[in-house]
Amino acid sequence: MKVVLQDLTKIFPSRNKNGQEVVAVNKFSFEIPDGKLIGLLGPSGCGKSTTLYMICGLQQPSGGKIFFGEDDVTELSPENRGVGLVFQNYALYPHMTVKQNIMFPLENLKGDDRMTKTQMLERAYHVAKLVQIDDLMDRKPSELSGGQQQRVAIARALVKMPRVLLLDEPLSNLDARLRLQTREEIKRIQRETHITTVFVTHDQEEAMSISDMIVVMKLGVVQQIGKPQEVYDNPVNLFVAKFLGTPPINVFDGEVKGEKLYIGEQAVLDVKGAADQLVHVGIRPEGFIVDANGALECDLSNVEVMGRDVSIVSRHASSQNPVIRSIVDADNKLPEGATKVRFSLKPHKVFLFNKDSEERVYFEVK
Ligand code: ATP
């Protein structure tokens, strides 16, 4: 089921006379392809949850429309949209067993949708198997781990065979190891069921690792939509470049003069096609090459060995971050006692952004 968002907007009125209204989501248009997992990503307050709640019907848009397939669902109540919703806090009924929790949404079906007890049980076991909790069906939620409770919540969301699955920070309450495991699980379940899924998170690594496409939002406005790797390799502005990547992108003050990029006094890269201007220079940690003849000279702070790779921590007067982190192959040996390190740069890992607008400035990469 494709989901179409058309100029979707949500404005919260101000709470007092002189207060400002909040544009939580501003003209969001996007066609979520059938059967894909979309990650809605952005810092706290950027409008992710509000978007999700409008898709599920818990929030009424101030403007725009939502379609499931060809059906306009903008005015439909959540019960009539065929959505499954999973929240950060699993919100299971504590006095019910896992089985009862999963079957609960089926008990209230009306008319032609009514199911017999046997059909309900069959359906509950089917989804419980899918999320691999079918051996825990007689336990109460308090007898389960956080990860298991979240699986029950997912099973409960799936039991009505929703047209669209909506997940609001579903992994936030889990510890690091369980987060990793459960996000893989969510990906597997989504692949097996082919249900169009929207996943909200502020964790870029989480979104990048499981989404078919990511939507990066800032202050209610969509910044960029694309496959995770494409967005990482081609950020349209400084905000997106900074938001994606661990370690984060290194940013320097720079200037383009005569199709050459200067950081400090040094011309560090040919940037054919870029007009003269002041820029923010974003360099991914993997964009540095240790090179005795490299144009970018930095003060060496320390070298962290990470096995296959080495993280070189250095400083430069034009760096906007306190330290520069570059990841290079462990074969790169720095001389014992070195206080300086010189780098040349991989052009496709260097992004320029106009100093004022922070929009991308493109140049030819050979
Ligand atoms: P978080 O990651 O912190 O949950 P989010 O990206 O999901 O953030 P939203 O919850 O969608 O952000 O909020 C977007 C903006 O709308 C915020 O500025 C928030 O304060 C505001 N907002 C959300 N709900 C309401 C409300 N009921 N009344 C007024 N303002 C609201």
Ligand 1 pocket: which of 50, 200, 217 to mutate (most atoms <8 Å of CB)?
50
Q: Tell me how far the alpha carbon of residue 49 lies from the centroid of ligand 1, in angstroms.
A: 7
Q: Atom 29 of ligand 1 has which residue's CA nearest to it?
A: 12
Q: Atom 25 of ligand 1 has which residue's CA nearest to it?
A: 12
Q: Indicate which atom in ligand 1 lies nearest the CA of residue 52.
A: 11
Q: Tell me how far the alpha carbon of residue 48 lies from the centroid of ligand 1, in angstroms.
A: 8
Q: Are 303 and 276 in contact (CB under 8 A)?
A: no
Q: Tell me how far the alpha carbon of residue 45 lies from the centroid of ligand 1, in angstroms.
A: 5
Is 189 exposed, middle or buried (CB count within 10 Å of its CB: 0-12, 13-18, 19+)?
buried
Q: Tell me how far the alpha carbon of residue 315 lies from the centroid of ligand 1, in angstroms.
A: 38
Using alpha carbons, list the distances in angstroms from residue 280 to 92, 272, 273, 284, 323: 48, 17, 17, 13, 16
Q: Tell me how far the alpha carbon of residue 46 lies from the centroid of ligand 1, in angstroms.
A: 7
Residue ranges in the chain whose pLDDT is less than 50: none
CA 69 centroid distance within chain: 24
CA 321 centroid distance within chain: 23
Q: Are 222 and 231 in contact (CB under 8 A)?
A: no
Q: Tell me how far the alpha carbon of residue 47 lies from the centroid of ligand 1, in angstroms.
A: 6
| Three-state secondary structure call for residue 243 | helix
Q: Indicate which atom in ligand 1 lies nearest the CA of residue 42.
A: 6
pLDDT at 124: 94
> Looking at this protein, which amino acid is placed at residue 364?
E
pLDDT at 17: 74
Q: Atom 11 of ligand 1 has which residue's CA nearest to it?
A: 47
Using alpha carbons, list the distances in angstroms from residue 148 to 161, 171, 360: 20, 12, 44
Q: Tell me how far the alpha carbon of residue 36 lies from the centroid of ligand 1, in angstroms.
A: 25
Q: Are 187 and 203 in contact (CB under 8 A)?
A: no
Q: Indicate which atom in ligand 1 lies nearest the CA of residue 200.
A: 7
pLDDT in tens, 73-107: 999 999 889 999 998 877 899 999 999 999 999 98
Helix (H) / strand (E) element for 258: namely none
Query: Whole-angstrom Cα distance, residue 54 to residue 249?
Result: 33
pLDDT in tens, 147-195: 889 889 999 998 988 999 999 998 887 788 778 888 888 898 899 889 9
Q: Atom 15 of ligand 1 has which residue's CA nearest to it?
A: 24
Q: Tell me how far the alpha carbon of residue 221 lies from the centroid of ligand 1, in angstroms.
A: 13
pLDDT at 199: 94
Q: Atom 16 of ligand 1 has which residue's CA nearest to it?
A: 24
Query: Whole-angstrom Cα distance, residue 212 to residue 190?
Result: 11
Query: Whole-angstrom Cα distance, residue 57 to residue 74?
Result: 8
Q: Indicate which atom in ligand 1 lies nearest the CA of residue 15.
A: 29
Is 122 exposed, middle or buried (CB count within 10 Å of its CB: 0-12, 13-18, 19+)?
exposed
Q: Tell me how far the alpha carbon of residue 90 lies from the centroid of ligand 1, in angstroms.
A: 20
Query: Whole-angstrom Cα distance, residue 23 to residue 251?
Result: 30
As for ligand 1, residues whose beta carbon falls within 6 Å of it are 12, 22, 24, 42, 44-50, 202
Provide the sign of the torsion angle of the four alpha carbons 317, 319, 325, 326, taken in this order: negative
* Contact partners, residue 72, CB within 8 Å, separation at least 6: 65, 66
Quick one: which of 179, 160, 128 has its CA closest to 56?
A: 160
